[in-house]
Chain A
Amino acid sequence: MENEQRWELRLYVAGQTPKSILALKNITRYCQENLEGRYSIEVIDLLKTPQLAEGDQIVAIPTLIRKVPIPIRKIIGDLSDEEKVLVGLNIRPLPSKNKP
């Protein structure tokens, strides 16, 4: 993976719910630890901009979307499982080879 690669993430929340706050806290920490200086996180509160839910096919809250690099990846939940999040976002390759 190139070191120059930037990561653009978008986190969809619906108000300041505990799950949303936890998700933001988690993803911020993972990014700081793994993508220092190479990431941006945009938080979208659907209570304020509900019209944005359709475009990114948001059903579950919270939903984290990796816009860049493509392809788009989605992770739903409070992101409490660090390993799963990093693998899901492809920040860290799978520890062992492709798990089912």
Chain B
Amino acid sequence: MQQTASIAKVSTGIEGLDEVTSGGFPRGRPVLICGSAGCGKTLFGIQFLVKGIVESDEPGVFVSFEETSIDLTNNVASLGFDLDKLTSEGKLRIDHVQIERSEIEETGEYDLEGLFIRLNYAIDAIGAKRVVLDTIESLFSGMQNEGLLRAEIRRLFGWLKEKGVTTVITGERGNNTLTRQGLEEYVSDCVILLDFRVVDQIATRRLRIVKYRGSTHGTNEYPFLIDENGISVIPITSLKLDYGASSDVISTGLPPLDALFKKGGFYKGGSTLISGTAGTAKTILAGYFALGSCLRNERVLLFSFEEAPDQTIRNLLTIGIDLRPYIDSKLLLIHASRPTLYGLEMHLLVVNKLLVEFKPKAVIVDPISSLVSVGSPLEVKAMLVRLIDTLKIHKINALFTCLMSRIGSTADDGTIEAVSSLADNWLFLQNELVDSKRQRSMLIVKSRGMEHYNDSVNFTISPAGISFAASSTPATSNSANGK
């Protein structure tokens, strides 16, 4: 679209990849997908075909050099891909090409015309527009005449191009080359590299477009996810500071807290940071925020990195915040996972996916500081910037809690540093011992573009919830105490 339609493209069938490739794969040309074992090449191919059939009405042929069609069918059934059904409808053909070196003798000259004929027959039988060859390099382990194989594979790619089918060719990654047999030399149009990396015991799948002739494309490494819906790539690096800012105000969910802000709450679409040491009621404030959103009939997505959903609900119930009806009515979705379950990029991907699927108006991350355990401060900061920007673009009310290890010590808290400069509002919670009694207090550190109460406010927590000490709150809701 950005270019003058120089080459026609077809949808890749993989969520997010069309954006990264500015429209999809080149129509009628071969695309090479390479990567090491287990990085998702076969699934990539299957999804390309299945979505091609379902979404673009383009029948497809899958030539499997490794797995039998039964294995393939079973392997992808869990992803909701019903290959048997598509096959019986005449939209899909799976041809398992088996080459057993042990039972084949070679003498004299030959060519791969048999493969060409099979492929041609399969393509014509269903009028296929898409073909997947997975993994054609297996031929090299089945036959000895390498020079001949190379020449024939080159001829095959040329023939597929002439035939006008969009072909995905998978290749196993070599030591110093993209593929073991150097297939990249023969496929010059589009090459995509899949990567499965484990850093600090956390695995992340990534994808990079190595080459795409005649097209603009993203050059970054994009994390991708394999889940129950197949592969999705979510481009998250193209964010800019050009989101709109709303002047509308939403409630914090806690009326006495609203009163501390001149306009009676947070700006819509803003981000709020709640920081404090352990036990300073961060999650409770997050609970109020969630409740407030539910009361406005707006969907809330709560990422809980420390508690299971039931535990969060139970605990909030003890102080009068009842979120159960909203769970039932699907206004509130709690996504609980250990931060170390997967890498930062993957967390971001999950957030992005849920944003698309659940379409929340508010997102809460409790606590954001636990992400530090997954990456270096720099990485965490980069991730948080992306997260906050993403939420901003979607005009989502965001709230992050952040656990500080010690009072007053922000030096070791990379997250605080990272988020505080990005957040629009910052509430700081404290527990102090005054005459052997716990004194809870809250301070609005900042609230961008909004006049707010400047003093620290004392509060207590009872079964009725949070109540502010009368002496320390402003007399009327609108009189911000400008010192």
Residues of B that sit less than 8 Å from A by CB? 95, 97-99, 103-115, 117-118, 120-121, 139, 142-143
Contact = CB atoms under 8 A, between A and B. Distances in A.
Given A60-B110, A61-B110, A63-B114, A74 B104 contact: yes
B152 to A, nearest CB: 9
Contacts of B103: 71-74
Chain A, interface size category, equals 20 to 34
A60 B118 contact: no
Most buried by A among B103, B106, B112, B114: B114
Interface in A62-82: 62-63, 71-81
Contacts of B143: 60, 76
9 contacts: A46-B114, A50-B117, A58-B118, A60-B143, A61-B112, A61-B113, A74-B103, A77-B108, A78-B107
A51 interface: yes
Given A76-B106, A88-B105, A47 B111 contact: no
B139 A74 contact: no
Contacts, number: 95
A94 B109 CA distance: 23
B121 A78 contact: no
A12 B103 CA distance: 16
Nearest to A78: B108
Q: Interface SS of chain B: helix, strand, loop or mixed?
A: mixed
Nearest to A89: B105
B425 to A, nearest CB: 66
A96 interface: no
A57 to B, nearest CB: 5
Given A57-B98, A60-B112, A61-B110, A73 B105 contact: yes
Given A50-B120, A51-B121, A59-B99, A80 B114 contact: no
A77 B118 contact: no
A57 B107 contact: no
A19 interface: yes
B120 A79 contact: no
Contacts of B98: 57
A60 B99 CA distance: 10
